[in-house]
Structure 1
Amino acid sequence: MKNMTAQHRVAWRSFPTGPVTAAYKRMVDAGEVRRDDAQVALAAKFDALHGSLTSLPPVPVPVRSDEPTEGSFKNSSPLLRLLARSLAHAQSSLRKKFHLWSFGPPPRGMYIHGPVGVGKSFLMDLFYASVSVPDDNSCCTNDSHKHINITKRRVHFHEFMLDVHHRIFVYKQEHPQGDAIPVIAQQLAQEAQLLCFDEFQVTDVADAMILKRLFSLLLDLNVVVVATSNRSPDALYEGGINRSLFLPFIEMLQHTFDIISMEDSSKDYRLENRADGQSYFWSNKKVHSDNNSKNNMQAQLEKIFGSTASGTEAEIIPVLFGRTVQVTRLNDRCAWFDFSELCYQPLGAADYISLCRRFPVIIMERVPQLDANHLNEARRFVTLIDACYESRTRLVLAAQVPLDELFVDFEAQVESSDGDEELIVNEKGGNSSSFATTMIRTKEGEYYEWSATGRIGVSLAQLSSANDLAFSFRRAASRLVEMGGNEWGRQ
């Protein structure tokens, strides 16, 4: 494992820099961002990865089922079988030598963890933008930074796991007894040889059980993975059900990725750009004399919403896996919900992503203060914020408390529950897959629901997702501030 810490007092280098540092320096010189030593150090590490991508081996092509192999000659004469073995050995040796001569080993991935707002995703996005396919005229330019001709994908980890679960679902429809993971890994590798994940976190048991196999196969297929997270690898899925089965993934992550810590960077740069006050409204419902404030807040929401198109009725928004979510108050650009409609119902990432794709503006009113008594609702709300943030959907909130009091800090005591349950995980399970529940079974044969943040009927203090939610609160509050800016949103 290469465990690194972004170092301070890093000066601009006098010799030519890589594309990530160059892009970062341009933004600093233009006054768009403030120079940060930890970010400069991280940019240099991205430059090194960028340079190593030039020798990235291609994705191995799977052997066709109709391609002749040694086994094809099992009923032939001994001489033919000997020739087939010799030919197969020679082909294998040539492929290995060609592979080593032409490419060398694939570069190590990067796992970057640290507090919210310190620039992890910002630097990853600069790196991602630097990896591009050259256009037809690029050979005639004097660009000092070499273009990398590989496929790529940048995705929020929630959305990636949603995609994986959907692929499993589709595969199992046609091959009920088949093994979907190798097939899906090959599909993903063919589609993108560079995968960049934002907000890597594991809170769902269905995700935890497939990550080790999936990532091992992706690495074998020469896929380079970069991930940002608020959690160190050791803290992933901490205290989760049957966590012992997840530990091999953590071990693999530590041995095959460069682990980069930005824990020493405590500055949340999102908070420097305060919200403009047009996306977050609040009025204390206990203060009966504040009717004018409530009426004014409602008027501002109506103004943001605009007019309802004549004849507009409830709309059914399609979601993956054949599911749907209903919107009763909407127009062509905006949907209006009560908090209970989206967060008290068993919804997940797939539902929120579908809503964000359909509407550039979402209004939610009657948002309560969120604490340890609203864990399931808070988890769904944080997932909604992440979906809006990733899609640049404007989220307008009408709450009962000010923004800095919306999330109440808490710490849950996490205790492992290894061995207490037998997992029943199928292709329809898991929060990331947006099905409401994954069902688990106790040794006594009783079934319980693994809900958005825990299992009904079991103390939430036993569940890792309680403390994961405390991490998520800080990220969500930071993102809401950024999302309140004047220029936030999409047309």
Structure 2
Amino acid sequence: MMKKMTKKMIGEHRVARRSFSTGPVAAAYKLKVDAGEVRRDNAQIALAAKFDALHESLASLPPVPVRADDPTQSNCKSSSPLLLARPMASAQSLLRKKLHLWSFGPPPRGMYIHGPVGVGKSFLMDLFYASVTGADDDSCCNNDSHSQKHATITKRRVHFHEFMLDVHHRIFVYNQKHPRSDAIPIIAHQLAQEAQLLCFDEFQVTDVADAMILKRLFLLLLDNNVVVVVTSNRPPDALYEGGINRSLFLPFIDMLKDTSDIISMEDSPKDYRLETRADGQSYFWSNKDVHGDNTSYNKIQAQLEEMFGGTASTTEAESIPVLFGRSVQVARLNDRCAWFDFCELCDQALGAADYISLCDRFSVLILDRVPQLDANRLNEARRFVTLIDACYESRTRLVLAAQVPLDELFVDFEAQVQSSDGDEELIVNDKGGNSSSFATTMIRTKEGEYYEWSATGLVGVSLAQLSSANDLAFSFRRAASRLVEMGGKEWGRQ
């Protein structure tokens, strides 16, 4: 009996050893498990092994091709370099591509990882990113050597919101100087020179302009030998689902599936963020009338005053610069903290660029009078989710004073198109929106009754917003999960 048990134990030990690959990502993950920082998860172990395989293949990554027709380069002296250099550049590019294939082979396939919130997608991607040795600054854009494999490569890890802002800003700046030229090939080459490994977190497509840019940009990045790693809550086939002119975006989805390993973590429904102890005093709520005289609300305000710093505040407003020459105004602030009402940040026409600038300026943001968010507040909810993402990525502490508990902050809803007698209707369960000019918007109440909601004076869902509405409903779960993690006592930056 003892002999059999010993063999069994040896067998289990061998299985346990085989369950971890020997690469740097799996090794880093094992250290986290052994230290008790994370719980061992089979899906995460499998993903770590795939990252290790990609890590090994990066050693044969071809260099970025040299582009002779970039008018932004200082050595371009012609007033119209795009027009003059294109024939020669095309021939040189073809020759270089052949030489690269002979010397290095094709670039490694990218990775597209999708699954529910909190299952470890971003966590494993960050372990992989940290394991890749970055090139020195002096060699970031030096791609003249084709005879040696890269010991180091340039890399960039970025939230998808921030990446698209960067791309739009580059297009804006380029078009100011070259209004008749095509900016996308130049920008793709610039991005490739800056980073041969691009890691995107929270990849999503809700805007037709982004959809059209991405289709071309990603193809050009691949032509420049850039490896792309993506995490997303949606599988590729669900990207931009229901969006305007989606048929024009479908080739991008096909390209993603052809050039990337699609990895699903849909069978890992556990949200590990919810195990975080939210003891960092970042979420307060009172269900009383905030304008009335009630003890709960007054106590919360006193706590916020203490966190803000009391008499350390300044009475002078500050204008925070934002991309594209804009600015966002902050009325109540001190050196480390800014205090807003919900309506100041989420009822106004603000976006990711504004929130990122605020996070760059302040380590703590206080947001007061946060309402319950549902399909009746789509625009405000979308901005609020974007604000949470910006704070999460920058590790900015977000302190919320809300009118409902955290588990009631986001109300689930589902938007769908239904056809009846040739007419298309947008149905929003429980809550509603406004009519588009091409369809009737019907609202279904909790009692099951239907009625038409006019577009006049109401902000909400239209048929053209179907994709972004459903994406927002999906994003609610990610935002709620992140708020729990961000409520941890150790969350934030110094």
Shared fold, TM over 0.5: yes
Q: Does 1:45 align with 2:45?
A: no
2:133–2:152 Cα contact (<8 Å) kept: yes
CA distance in 1, matches of 2:19, 2:368: 53
Q: Unaligned stretches of 5+ in structure 1?
A: 1-9, 73-84, 136-145, 417-440, 444-454
Is structure 2 residue 205 aligned with structure 1 residue 202?
Answer: yes
> Deviation digits for residues 407-438 of structure 1, max 9, x if unmatched?
0011110479xxxxxxxxxxxxxxxxxxxxxx
- Residue 270 of structure 1: SS of its match in structure 2? helix
What is the CA deviation profile of residues 356-381 of structure 1, one whole-angstrom value per residue up to 9, with x for unaligned ones?
A: 00000000000000011011000000
Residue of structure 1 equivalent to 2:178: 175
Structure 2 partner of 1:422: none
Q: Percent identity?
A: 83
Q: Which has the higher contact order (CA 8 A, sep 6+)?
A: 1
1:380-403: CA deviation from partner (whole Å, max 9, x where unpaired): 000000000000000000000000
Q: How does 1:354-393 map to 2 (within 5 A)?
A: 354-393=357-396
Amino acid across the alignment from 1:403: L
Answering whether residue 245 of structure 2 is matched by residue 262 of structure 1, we say no
Distance 1:327 1:206, change over 3 A: same
Q: Which residue of 2 aligns with 1:410?
A: 413
- Find the residue that maps to 2:191 and give its secondary structure: helix
Q: Secondary structure at the match of 2:228?
A: strand
* Contact persistence 1:118–1:266 (CA under 8 A): yes
Structure 1 position 97, deviation (Å): 5.8
| Contact 1:53–1:148 under 8 Å retained in 2 | no
Please give the residue correspondences for 1:274-353 in structure 2 after superposition, counting only pairs within 5 Å.
274-276=277-279, 278-286=281-289, 291-309=294-312, 312-353=315-356
2:62 to 45, 57, 72: 57
SS at 2:47's partner residue?
A: helix
Deviation at 1:251, TM superposition (A): 1.1
For 1:111, the equivalent position in structure 2 comes to 112
Distance of 2:21 and 2:471 partners within structure 1:
41
Task: Give the deviation of 1:245 after TM superposition.
Answer: 1.3
Inter-partner Cα distance in structure 1 for 2:366 and 2:293: 22
1:13 aligns with 2:14: no
Secondary structure of 1:362's counterpart equals strand
Q: Which amino acid aligns with 1:485?
A: G
C-alpha separation between the residues in 2 aligned to 1:15 and 1:365? 46
Equivalence map 1:158-169=2 (5 Å): 158-169=161-172
Q: Secondary structure at the match of 2:130?
A: helix
TM-score of the aligned structures, taking structure 2 as reference length: 0.80
RMSD of the TM alignment (CA)?
3.1
The AA in structure 2 aligned to 1:112 is: I
Provide the rounded CA distance (Å) in 2 between the counterparts of 1:21 and 1:458. Answer: 44
Letter in 2 for 1:271: L
Tell me which of 471, 482, 487 is aligned to 2:490: 487
Change (3 A) 1:16 1:157: closer
How far off its partner does 1:292 sit?
1.5
Q: Find the aligned partners of 1:97 and 1:184 in 2 and give their Cα distance.
A: 23
Paired residue total? 424
* 1:133 paired residue number: 134
Whether contact under 8 Å (1:275, 1:484) holds in the other structure is yes
Do the aligned partners of 1:413 and 1:462 also contact (CA within 8 Å) in 2? no
1:29 to 2:34 alignment = yes
- Work out whether residues 290 and 297 of structure 2, in 8 Å CA contact, stay in contact via their aligned partners in 1: no
User: How far off is 1:99 after superposition?
Assistant: 2.1
Deviations 1:178-199 (CA, angstroms, capped at 9, x unpaired): 1000010011000000000000
CA drift of 1:286 comes to: 4.5
